[in-house]
Amino acid sequence: MEVQIAAEQSRTRELLWPTIAVLIGSFISILNITIVNIVIPEIMASLGTGVDKVKWIITVYMLSQAVLMPMVGWLGRVVGNRNLYILSLGLFSIGAVLCGLSWNIDSLIAFRIVQGIGGGVVYPLSLAILISIFPENKRGMAVAMWMLSANVGSAIGPTLGGFLTESLNWRLAFYAIVPAAVLAMIMTSILFPKEEKQPVGKFDVAGFITLTVFVSALLIALSKGQTEGWGSDYILRLLMIFAAAFTIFLIVELRKPDPLIEIRLAGDRYFAAALIINFLVGIGLYGTNFLIPIYLQNILDYPIMKAGIAMIPGAAIAVPCTYFGGWLTDRSSIKIPLFLGLFIWALFTYVFGLLDVRVSFMAVTMIMLLRGIGLGISAPPMMAGALVNLPQEKTRMASGILSLNLTLGGMFGIAILGTMLEKRQFVHFVSSAKYHDPSSYATMLALGSIQRYFQSIGHMGYEAKGMAIMVLSTIVSKEALVSAFQDSFFLITVAFALAFIPSVFMSGKKLV
């Protein structure tokens, strides 16, 4: 027994530095997303562009990632995990440097495609490598560490981005990740042995083309639906292209002996259940990451740095909770930490939706902290449970599919919530306006009080009256926006609640 324990401890020490090399990749891939999102206003001002154009900085990056993620399985067979990880980190770094050197918005968008191609491989491949070097009874802990590094990147991103925006230069948001990427490349080249070449089938050209077409059409439709109008000819054509390409893709992949993506993996009930959970969690995860910074800055009037600081506790607590979730996943039924984490996450997402402008900074950080507990506990069983029945050689492809699925869920969530926020604000504004009829006593009293204030600071009567009406309209509009946010957080809570249904079909066995 003592010999076995000593052997396990020795194996753990051997895995320490290779694990760190791999975790750097997942860390910087998430850090890059969160840090760039927060510096977009500065990019707009520096490059003289508008919201419609600057959105493509995010869209093309996610699009490049989404197309490359499912290809990790085939690419890994061609060059091996070690070489693919080094190459993708190198491309990711080159793209980052070029983004920092960009001279206009078009060049920045082009270079983000390069960066997204590298990032689309780094994120899922880092998980596949971790699972390949850890024994099967430690899969939960391997996934926990992978999620932990991503959570740290998510936590640091907004604060670091806010600091760079306010104190230095937005270009450093791209340069900042390069040293870490280079370090990971050096460590990987030293610590990981060269792999033997694996038999590689012919590249699935038809699968790649149809995958690129349907993913591109869907993501562009989701990102442009709100501005173009969901019923517009442009969006409807994109959705028709998506439906046709997706159908052809399924037919092609099911007939191929060596497909780009093994659709038959969904025949495993645990993997199929995890795909549904992943999509719903993607809606909630990306949706809250989209809504909360806007809520903190536009409703609670927090500056960028304060908003970033408010989000730190939730991401920070997710670190030990992810470790705990991985430990619990390895030693109990996968369903226990999954149910527990999803419940806590859903509960405090709903509580966040009950907030209004009177909430204190301490209350906001506490709710963010409690949400982070749920995120940390649920992540390891969700990912480990997806792979529990799959053979080792399928985990690389499965990781790519899961990452793509999470991204698609996130894009779907952002698109739906963005539209919902706008429409529900209008509905609530109209509803509130009925109670602020200019002839009503309460409205006249409020307008009179505001008007007298403006008169007291030197404005003429007619001028003060116009300003009073404008102030009252702003108050009603903000109340309507608060109500719209509450509706949006309730929708996210529903997505988390729906994730409980496929969770019932996840594995009930212990990994240890």
Phi/psi at 247 (nearest 5 deg)?
A: -60, -45
| DSSP 3-state of 499 | coil
pLDDT tens, position by position, 316-353: 787 778 778 777 877 777 788 888 888 998 898 888 88
- Which residue intervals of the chain bear CATH 1.20.1250.20? 1-203
Q: Per DSSP, which regions of 48-188 are E strands?
A: none
Burial class (CB in 10 A: 0-12, 13-18, 19+), 43: buried
What is the model's pLDDT at position 166? 67
The percentage of residues in the chain with a pLDDT greater than 70, rounded to a whole number, is 79
- CA 330, 334, 339, 345 dihedral sign is positive
CA separation for the pair 246, 240 (Å, rounded) = 10
DSSP output for 9-30? HHHHHHHHHHHHHHHHHHHHHH
pLDDT score at 300: 82
pLDDT at 176: 83
Parts of the chain with a pLDDT under 50: 1-9, 441
| Closest to 28 (Cα-Cα) out of 108, 89, 94 | 89
80: left (phi over 0), alpha (psi -120 to 50) or beta: left
**pTM of the full predicted structure?**
0.74
CA gyration radius for the chain?
A: 25
Query: How many CA atoms lie within 13 Å of 275's alpha carbon, on the beta-carbon side?
Result: 15
How is residue 264 written in tokens?
């038959």
For domain 1-203, give the CATH superfamily: MFS general substrate transporter like domains (1.20.1250.20)
| C-alpha to C-alpha distance for 459 and 478, rounded to whole angstroms | 25
Name the burial class of residue 146, with classes exposed (0-12), middle (13-18) and buried (19+) by CB atoms within 10 angstroms of its CB: buried
Burial class from Cβ neighbours inside 10 Å (0-12, 13-18, 19+) for residue 38 reads buried
Q: Residue 192 has which token pair?
A: 């990981």
